Amino acid sequence: MTHPDIHFELRGDHQEVAVIRLTRAAKRNALNDGLILALRDLFEQMPSTVRAAVIDGDGPHFCAGLDLSELKERDAGQGLHHSRMWHAALERVQYGPVPVIAALHGAVVGGGLELASACHIRVADESTFYALPEGSRGIFVGGGGAVRIPKLIGAARMTDMMLTGRVYNAQDGEKVGFAQYLVPEGQAFDKAFELAVRVAQNAPLTNYALMHALPRIAEQPADQGFFTEAMMAAIAQSAPEAKSRLADFLEGRAAKVRKD
């Protein structure tokens, strides 16, 4: 499960949070084929103690996207398979075993933004900036960005980013929906880890429903969405864990909802 450019460790009282760090800082964590395949393998082989994951990057930037030095002359078929390889890897992130929280700083560009978009929560620090330089490199997104990025910020904003090279800073990126949390510089990992510990305490079936059912329901016509929701609700509430958590609340043992 190890790769020279990935640091992997388990943290938390019960080894319940996986920390995944891209450690190719000299190349700004640019993702070559080996790294993408290693990320796929890592999510496929996640230890069973893990309930949530944090992904971040070493050095001044989260990720510079596709390793452009590997962009060889590819024919159409090879290009198709290369893009499908990214799809397979990032699907393992989005539809893998546990929720993934991206801790962002510096450049989150091209394929780096596609990786961040496959995660379930994004925490950005104030040094973060977002761009899709594919437009100026004469290529197109190929790592699922055409599907996932419009869901975060809308197709019109993504089109503008790719046509004009527009770069969003951390504040504007949070406003348009790239990140759900904006924190002072240097604090993205700590905030992401704190959230991961909290996410890891949820019933696993609830987390599963949020990761696997919610995005599919969002794609369905309302009538089918309501039906899928009802099925998922019935399955989740029938789990023993749900019953014991409800009993805890009704018998005064569980935390109440309080504003921060």
Q: Which residues are catalytic?
A: 114, 134
Decide whether 108 or 179 has the Cβ nearer to ligand 1HE. Answer: 108
Binding test (CB under 6 A) with ligand 1HE, winner from 3, 7, 11, 27: 27
Q: Shortest gap between Cβ of 69 and ligand 1HE (angstroms)?
A: 5
One-letter identity of residue 67: D
One-letter identity of residue 98: V
Using the rule CB under 6 A, give the single segment among 96-104, 118-126, 140-148, 243-251 that binds ligand 1HE.
140-148
Does position 69 interact with ligand 1HE (CB under 6 A)? The reply is yes
Burial of 194 (0-12, 13-18, 19+ CB in 10 A): middle
Binding test (CB under 6 A) with ligand 1HE, winner from 18, 19, 20, 30: 30
Binding test (CB under 6 A) with ligand 1HE, winner from 61, 105, 148, 191: 61
Using the rule CB under 6 A, give the single segment among 133-141, 155-163, 193-201, 220-228 that binds ligand 1HE.
133-141
Q: Which single residue brings its beta carbon nearest to ligand 1HE?
A: 110
Does position 137 interact with ligand 1HE (CB under 6 A)? The reply is yes
| Separation of alpha carbons 49 and 75, rounded Å | 43
User: CA 163: distance to chain centroid?
Assistant: 25
CA-derived radius of gyration, the chain: 19
Burial profile 201-228: b = 16 or more Cβ within 10 angstroms, e = fewer: ebeebbbbbbbebeeebeeeeeeebeee
Tell me how many residues contact ligand 1HE (CB under 6 A): 23
Using the rule CB under 6 A, give the single segment among 26-34, 178-186, 191-199, 211-219 that binds ligand 1HE.
26-34
Q: Which residue has the tokens 């909802």?
A: 257
- 72 contacts: CB under 8 Å, gap ≥ 6: none
The vertex-98 CA angle with 110 and 174, nearest 5°, equals 45
Phi and psi at residue 240, to the nearest 5°: -55, -35
Does position 52 interact with ligand 1HE (CB under 6 A)? The reply is no
Binding site for ligand 1HE (CB under 6 A): 27-28, 30, 60-61, 64-69, 86, 107, 109-111, 133-134, 137, 139, 141-143
